[in-house]
Structure 1
């Protein structure tokens, strides 16, 4: 069989596609493109009297292909997908690549923005993880009510693919409502304060919050009380399939192998084992085409084969 082409054999404009997308994501975030309608404080309970209305209050606006509340799952894609952003980010820019791709596959896609703190503009996913998990619970209930589905799949980035949704699964009854959790660079076992500082440098004003007004940052530090409670008794819960997709070049959640999980129904994937010359960092995991392929594979393993570097970087 011929060797599979890699980044280095592709035309220059295709090799730069992932980087350009990542730069666009960061540029939007740095420009303060935070969703005005999604700034609900994590400390302000969202009314549950109408689950769909409550979920819509958390929905991130302007995400291509996402948050069509009339969408009904098809037999080919029976579960809606909820996309969960990472620390300091927000749903409106974190998922501009993944959301339209999954929607184009025929999947009902929903994106929320969570974890605001009173008096802090733009930056999200900084509230206590337990409060953010409650917002995710509200959002999932609304998605299920709107679509009529019995379960959702969750795809999350960083905090949104690691300890926060896992907290929801373990402590807020989410395990019965989630079929598959896919984490991109997930903070499953925490990170060092240095890692959080590295991430914060990408977002104006965020560095001032580390160790001050960012409870989620404290929750994610290795050895935190929340992480100890979350991981006590094992990483996983019965009935949920887990994927952890990591890059060796992650500069935020380090060492990168701490992102992986142990337990049944766990799939730990390193991007470079699929395509050795593909080197996304932490932020670029949300826009990388090889990662997108693995997301599709995780959501539909029977119909999506192993990653082909050439096909995924040109198709």
Structure 2
């Protein structure tokens, strides 16, 4: 066996392991995996109290909030803290599973990202029809903070979304601390990853998907964008690649709000109350409050 072939499998495994290590382990509520393009809300069923299709948005919070999980995550586990946080503040909150691979239960966000965006498109339509709202707000973590941009840009989502908040999003791809830069030295490695989990290949810095997504500008008119990042992100690297450029963009480095906040990639979306405070500010800027280290106690 040629030397590069002996190294191919360990390198691929290393890339996959690095991604898996930064996301939560899925809870044991497996179900059959739908094919790509078939949205399934992880109502769990309504296991966390959200995904209540009888919820009607209030005058104070007139838009439902759709939460979009990250890679190797799902619509329940990714939002066990943020969803109740928003519900307690009077929002109608929903979440979906997307990017399912056939035969792979529990963890999602692995399918082609353009197909995942189609699933989001169908799910937002479902939520708007159920709630009677004209527009929704989107909040996503990791891939979920980037994938909706495809929906906004290419699938008509800008007409149906008011605010989009990306938490630790890989807007311009990731190098996984330089690991992806090794791929060209292992012929066939990129093909293996693209075949096994195309959603991973799409997120590598320099991918064809990201070139298309970012061509002509990061944003589209009519949508308010917020990006929340941490300098300690070990998955989306460099962390500055998360930020967007545009006239209606608010880029937030969490350590500029609280230097004591050491949250890395996973914790930023899972448990960081300072992040949650910034999400609430983005969703309701008219009633936004200053975010400080004390916000972690609110």
| Separation (CA, whole Å) in 2 of partners of 1:223 and 1:280 | 27
TM-aligned CA deviation for residue 58 of structure 1: 2.6
TM-aligned CA deviation for residue 313 of structure 1: 2.3
Q: Is the 8 A contact 1:114 1:125 kept in 2?
A: yes
CA deviations on 1:132-169 (whole Å, 9 max, x unpaired) are 0011011100000000000000000000011x100111
Q: Give the structure-2-normalised TM-score.
A: 0.84
**1:188 corresponds to which of 171, 187, 206:** 171
SS in 2 for 1:220: coil
CA deviations on 1:77-117 (whole Å, 9 max, x unpaired) are 00000000001111110001110010111100001111111
Structure 2 spans left out of the alignment, 5+ residues: 1-20, 181-191
> Does residue 253 of structure 1 match 2:247?
no
**2:34 corresponds to which of 34, 40, 50:** 40
**1:160 corresponds to which of 132, 144, 147:** 144
Q: How does 1:14-33 map to 2 (within 5 A)?
A: 29-30=24-25, 32-33=26-27
Q: Give the structure-1-normalised TM-score.
A: 0.79
Residue in structure 2 matched with residue 17 of structure 1 by the alignment: none
TM-aligned CA deviation for residue 192 of structure 1: 1.4
TM-aligned CA deviation for residue 29 of structure 1: 4.2
**2:197 corresponds to which of 199, 214, 223:** 214
The alpha-carbon distance between structure 1 residues 34 and 243, as it changes in their structure 2 partners (threshold 3 A), is farther
**2:62 corresponds to which of 71, 78, 98:** 78
| Separation (CA, whole Å) in 2 of partners of 1:218 and 1:256 | 19
Residue in structure 1 matched with residue 81 of structure 2 by the alignment: 97
TM-aligned CA deviation for residue 119 of structure 1: 2.2
Q: Name the count of aligned residue pairs.
A: 265
| Separation (CA, whole Å) in 1 of partners of 2:230 and 2:35 | 32
Residue in structure 1 matched with residue 126 of structure 2 by the alignment: 142
CA deviations on 1:232-285 (whole Å, 9 max, x unpaired) are 100000000000000000001011110000011100000000000101000001
CA deviations on 1:222-241 (whole Å, 9 max, x unpaired) are 11111111111000000000
| Separation (CA, whole Å) in 1 of partners of 2:154 and 2:175 | 24
> Does residue 172 of structure 1 match 2:166?
no
Q: Is the 8 A contact 2:66 2:95 kept in 1?
A: yes
